[in-house]
Structure 1
Amino acid sequence: MTKQNFLKGTIILIIAGMITRFLGFINRIVVARVMGEEGIGLYNMALPTLFLMYTISQIGLPIAISKRVAEADAKGDTNKIKQILIISLSITISLSLVSSVLMYLIIPYIATNLLTDSRVYYPMLAIIPIIPISAVAAVIRGYFQGRQNMKPQSFAQVIEQIVRIAFIIILVQIFAPYGLEYAAAAAMIAVIIGEAVSLFYMLHMFQIKKRIKLRKNAFQYIRTGRNTLNQLMSIALPSTASRMVSSVANFLEPILVTQSLAIAGFQTVVATKMYGALTGYAIPLLFLPTFITHSLAVALVPNISEAEARSHKKLIHYRIHQAVRLSFASGAIATVILTLFADAILMYMYGTTNASLFLKIMAPCFLFMYIQFPLNAALQALDLAKQAMWNNIVATVIKFVVLISLTTNPQFGIYGAAIAMCAGVMLGTIFHLVTLFRHIKFVIPYLMIFKMITLVGLTFWLGWLLIRLFSFQMDHIIQFIIILIVLLLCYILFLFSLKFISKDELKQLRRK
């Protein structure tokens, strides 16, 4: 089994994340060109159901598997790893089959009554085969993460996107003459083929790398696996609950915002445009750096789990500090750029500057979100998934209270929703820090906090100075690129000067 250290594993995941995001962007362009707005509408109507099926069939097991496999691997307990895999596969396959049958039965009602467009029936029907495929893939992915081998899932992500794009181009053109509903269904089938090829690749790598035979005495492992099941569920269930809370919150948020704006006296069309500018323009830009912080979080779970199994308390603290430091470093430059160049970026990307003030208000606050990912992962790795779940629930409730209180006030309007989102992000991060302090006495040192403030301050000052030196105007995109290059180069120097990246960490990347 090829095992990577924390930094190597993170770098592999980051590179795969970058490539996947780029390919995903190409995928959206292809879908838009071959299906048109109405076809995309049918396709996107079916997507939330797909995501819900992912959540139900996986029930948070990838993280639980990653942690428990890492612990067993640290102790050299191969039988435990086999039991984890057999029980996890039994759960996910059973749930996926039940979900598939249930989905088949309720699709006609959802398509006709809830989504009010019977044509959605075909793309939703096409989703069903993906449920068991994604369920098995989740288990294999969690296994590789637990063994701290990030290459199989990283290659699988890239392969999946390439296959998906190729088959969307082929299948949509074949089925489009029969109607948009068939074209949307064909796009879903392309997703299934991509997932299936990705799964076959991971199964092939599992076959090559494995040290265990799953089919041998499988029922015996299931019968004696109550303790293992409880260990998996102690992480999986709170993680699933957090995701379900997030899904419900995402469902309620637009309702609360539009109703609050109506109380404040804003017309429906105006409220819709305001919410569209916030969620369609500002939020995607604020979430751009998260593929880096997510990669850090994924790599962090097995590393901390292994350290905890070996009772290496200092290593646990070091890994969390390292992940927080690197997450902040990746988010700080994005924060400065989005704050200083909000108008220019929005104009280049969307042809409007309507969301400019949203970015300037929210970007500094979202620095808390970038470090929240590794903190949440650390809590799950330390068997504190239930506490992480409650932190997220309380932060969400407070966010909604702030949202209603401010957005119903005409003086705040839609900016009340932006402030509420900032409050939710900041409180969630603070709650996680408090929980870590209570259980393992983890704190971010004052010196590191000072360095964080200094890094953001220096970068912001340099960016402001470059804008003045170049007399930057929005219509000069070449100037914008030059300023960004200079700013990024200087930012790298700041990172090394303030020791956000150390020489030892660079040596770790070269070590086998």
Structure 2
Amino acid sequence: MTKQNFLKGTIILIIAGMITRFLGFINRIVVARIMGEEGIGLYNMALPTLFLMYTISQIGLPIAIAKRVAEADARNDQPRIKQILIISLSITISLSILSSILMFSLIPYISTYLLTDDRVFYPMMAIIPIIPISAVGAVIRGYFQGKQNMKPQSYAQVIEQIVRITFVLLLVTWLAPYGIEFAASGAMVAVIIGEAASLFFMLRMFQLKKRIKLRKNVYSYIKTGRDTLRQLFSIALPSTASRMINSIANFLEPILVAQSLAFAGFQATVATKQYGALTGYALPLLFLPTFITHSLAVALVPNISEAEAKQHKKLVHYRIHQAIRLSFASGAIATVLLTLFADFILQNMYGSTSASLFLKIMAPCFLFMYIQYPLNAALQALDLAKQAMWNSICATIIKFVVLLCLATNPQIGIYGAAIAMCAGVMIGTIFHLVTLFRKIRFYIPIKMILKMIILIGLTFWMGLLLTRIFPFQSTDILTFILIILLLFISYIIFLFGMQFISKDELQQLRKK
């Protein structure tokens, strides 16, 4: 079983994330151009319910599996690893079946009365089979993460996107003439097929690389697994509560937006279209850098867990600082690009600039989101999942209060939802930082904060300067590409000049 160090594992995940994000944007462009804003709105209204059921079926086990497998692997305790996998699979499969039944029974009520658009019924029904598929896949991913082998899940991500795009083209094109709701259902089915292909690949890799036989003495491992179950749940339950808050928030968000806009006097079709522009056009662009921050977070958990177990406090602080620094570096350039070139990017990607103001309002605020991922991972690795949960609860409550206050105002409307999202992101990140300071005296030095401000200020100035030197129109792709290349070269110079990325970190990539 091939292991990678922190930076190598992160780079592997980042490369896979970069490929999958690129393929994912191709997928979104195809879907957006075929289904339009209204179809995207239906698609995104259905997803939060899926994520809620998905969270219930996993109950936070992937992080717990990764942590406990890493501990057992350090002791070369193969029977314990087998027991972890058997118990985890038993729990996730059982819960995924129950979640599927619950979702099947609630969908008619949710689509008609809560989401106020009964067309959502079809895409929500179509996606039910993904729950058990994703639940099993999450267990296998947790196993490979615990083994500190990031390659199988990275390859699986790319396979999933390729298969998904292929079937999106086939199914959405085929079903679009029958109605928007059927086209959205076709997009959901494509997601299922992609997840299934990913799962089959990981199962094959598990079969080739495993040193244990899962099907032997299964009952005895379950019968004697009380201690293993307790250890898993000590991490999984607080983690699940935190994920559940986010899933419930995502589930309630389209409902509250729809009801708030209806209260403000907007018709259901108008509200769906506006919500589609926000969640289908703006948010995917804002979340683009998170494939880097998520990769850092995934690789951070076993590294911090190991360092904390060995009482290497300085290494714990260094890893968190390193993850924040790299996360901010990835998010700062994205923030500048989305702020300066919102209209150009949206017009050429989606054929619409309706989400332009969303991007300009939200992009600076989402810098907090990019560093929130590694902060949350650090809390999980330090057994502070309960504190992370309360942070999420407080941030979510504040977000919803802001949403209800602003979105019900006819003069603000959907922009109230955008502002509320920004408030939730910023407050959640600040709460995580406060928790880490209270527990381990971790803080971001003033020097680093000043560097962050200077970095994004210089990059924004360089972007403005380049647009004045090379003026371009919405159809001038070559000039835009030239500006982006020059801006990236300048940004890399800024990064190394301000030591956001050090030579020592580059040398670590060569180490095993």
TM-score normalised by the chain length of structure 1: 0.87
Corresponding residue for residue 286 of structure 2 = 286
- Amino acid in structure 2 at the alignment position of 1:503: K
Corresponding residue for residue 334 of structure 1 = 334
The one-character-per-residue Cα deviations of 1:394-453 (angstroms, maximum 9, x if unpaired) are: 011112223334445667555444333222111111100111111111111122111111
> What's the offset of the Cα at 1:130?
3.5
Corresponding residue for residue 401 of structure 1 = 401
Corresponding residue for residue 69 of structure 2 = 69
Is 2:202 the partner of 1:202?
yes
* Greater mean alpha carbon deviation, residues 7-16 or residues 214-223: 214-223
The one-character-per-residue Cα deviations of 1:241-261 (angstroms, maximum 9, x if unpaired) are: 233322332343344445556
The one-character-per-residue Cα deviations of 1:69-112 (angstroms, maximum 9, x if unpaired) are: 22332343333322221211111122223334445666677778
- Amino acid in structure 2 at the alignment position of 1:443: Y
For residues 302-341 of structure 1, the aligned pairs below 5 Å read 302-341=302-341
* C-alpha RMSD over aligned residues: 3.6
Corresponding residue for residue 345 of structure 1 = 345
How far, CA to CA, are the matches of 2:95 and 2:108 in structure 1? 21
1:364 partner SS: coil
> What's the offset of the Cα at 1:322?
0.8
Q: Is the 8 A contact 1:45 1:120 kept in 2?
A: yes
Corresponding residue for residue 364 of structure 1 = 364
Would the alpha carbon gap of residues 61 and 343 (structure 1) be closer, same or farther in structure 2, given more than 3 Å must change?
A: same
Corresponding residue for residue 432 of structure 1 = 432
Corresponding residue for residue 88 of structure 2 = 88
1:365 partner SS: coil
> What's the offset of the Cα at 1:67?
1.7
Q: Is the 8 A contact 2:133 2:196 kept in 1?
A: yes
Q: Is the 8 A contact 1:71 1:309 kept in 2?
A: no
The one-character-per-residue Cα deviations of 1:134-160 (angstroms, maximum 9, x if unpaired) are: 222111100101111110011111122
* Greater mean alpha carbon deviation, residues 393-402 or residues 404-413: 404-413
> What's the offset of the Cα at 1:502?
1.0
How far, CA to CA, are the matches of 2:230 and 2:200 in structure 1? 29
Would the alpha carbon gap of residues 403 and 510 (structure 1) be closer, same or farther in structure 2, given more than 3 Å must change?
A: same
Would the alpha carbon gap of residues 396 and 181 (structure 1) be closer, same or farther in structure 2, given more than 3 Å must change?
A: closer
Is 2:436 the partner of 1:444?
no
Would the alpha carbon gap of residues 249 and 192 (structure 1) be closer, same or farther in structure 2, given more than 3 Å must change?
A: closer
How far, CA to CA, are the matches of 2:335 and 2:179 in structure 1? 44
How far, CA to CA, are the matches of 1:260 and 1:114 in structure 2? 12
Is 2:485 the partner of 1:485?
yes
How far, CA to CA, are the matches of 2:201 and 2:286 in structure 1? 33
Would the alpha carbon gap of residues 229 and 459 (structure 1) be closer, same or farther in structure 2, given more than 3 Å must change?
A: same
How far, CA to CA, are the matches of 2:414 and 2:102 in structure 1? 39
Would the alpha carbon gap of residues 411 and 296 (structure 1) be closer, same or farther in structure 2, given more than 3 Å must change?
A: same
* Greater mean alpha carbon deviation, residues 187-196 or residues 303-312: 187-196
How far, CA to CA, are the matches of 1:221 and 1:268 in structure 2? 53
Would the alpha carbon gap of residues 192 and 406 (structure 1) be closer, same or farther in structure 2, given more than 3 Å must change?
A: closer
Would the alpha carbon gap of residues 310 and 206 (structure 1) be closer, same or farther in structure 2, given more than 3 Å must change?
A: farther
How far, CA to CA, are the matches of 1:264 and 1:163 in structure 2? 42
1:283 partner SS: helix
How far, CA to CA, are the matches of 1:430 and 1:52 in structure 2? 25
Corresponding residue for residue 223 of structure 1 = 223
Corresponding residue for residue 141 of structure 2 = 141
* Greater mean alpha carbon deviation, residues 21-30 or residues 355-364: 21-30
Would the alpha carbon gap of residues 177 and 429 (structure 1) be closer, same or farther in structure 2, given more than 3 Å must change?
A: closer
Corresponding residue for residue 132 of structure 1 = 132
Corresponding residue for residue 98 of structure 2 = 98
- Amino acid in structure 2 at the alignment position of 1:444: I
How far, CA to CA, are the matches of 1:356 and 1:397 in structure 2? 27
Q: How many residues align?
A: 512
> What's the offset of the Cα at 1:176?
9.2
2:3 partner SS: coil
> What's the offset of the Cα at 1:206?
1.6
* Greater mean alpha carbon deviation, residues 212-221 or residues 57-66: 212-221
- Amino acid in structure 1 at the alignment position of 2:130: I
2:364 partner SS: helix
Would the alpha carbon gap of residues 44 and 443 (structure 1) be closer, same or farther in structure 2, given more than 3 Å must change?
A: closer
Q: Is the 8 A contact 2:57 2:135 kept in 1?
A: yes
Q: Is the 8 A contact 1:234 1:385 kept in 2?
A: no
TM-score normalised by the chain length of structure 2: 0.87
Would the alpha carbon gap of residues 34 and 254 (structure 1) be closer, same or farther in structure 2, given more than 3 Å must change?
A: closer
Q: Is the 8 A contact 1:366 1:425 kept in 2?
A: yes
* Greater mean alpha carbon deviation, residues 393-402 or residues 255-264: 255-264
> What's the offset of the Cα at 1:461?
1.6
How far, CA to CA, are the matches of 2:281 and 2:180 in structure 1? 28
How far, CA to CA, are the matches of 2:233 and 2:249 in structure 1? 23
- Amino acid in structure 1 at the alignment position of 2:246: S
Would the alpha carbon gap of residues 57 and 248 (structure 1) be closer, same or farther in structure 2, given more than 3 Å must change?
A: closer
> What's the offset of the Cα at 1:65?
1.0
How far, CA to CA, are the matches of 1:174 and 1:254 in structure 2? 28
How far, CA to CA, are the matches of 1:89 and 1:80 in structure 2? 14
Is 2:500 the partner of 1:500?
yes
How far, CA to CA, are the matches of 1:443 and 1:108 in structure 2? 48
Would the alpha carbon gap of residues 166 and 364 (structure 1) be closer, same or farther in structure 2, given more than 3 Å must change?
A: closer
- Amino acid in structure 2 at the alignment position of 1:297: A
> What's the offset of the Cα at 1:50?
3.9
- Amino acid in structure 2 at the alignment position of 1:326: L
How far, CA to CA, are the matches of 2:138 and 2:252 in structure 1? 28
How far, CA to CA, are the matches of 1:229 and 1:112 in structure 2? 40
How far, CA to CA, are the matches of 2:205 and 2:68 in structure 1? 20
> What's the offset of the Cα at 1:34?
8.3
Q: Is the 8 A contact 2:38 2:272 kept in 1?
A: no
Is 2:379 the partner of 1:379?
yes
> What's the offset of the Cα at 1:490?
0.6
Is 2:145 the partner of 1:154?
no
How far, CA to CA, are the matches of 2:349 and 2:361 in structure 1? 19
- Any stretches of 5+ residues in structure 2 without a counterpart? none
2:363 partner SS: helix
- Amino acid in structure 2 at the alignment position of 1:248: I
* Greater mean alpha carbon deviation, residues 110-119 or residues 61-70: 110-119
Q: Is the 8 A contact 1:74 1:310 kept in 2?
A: no
Would the alpha carbon gap of residues 472 and 248 (structure 1) be closer, same or farther in structure 2, given more than 3 Å must change?
A: same
- Amino acid in structure 2 at the alignment position of 1:391: N
> What's the offset of the Cα at 1:380?
0.9
* Greater mean alpha carbon deviation, residues 256-265 or residues 51-60: 256-265
Q: Is the 8 A contact 1:300 1:378 kept in 2?
A: yes
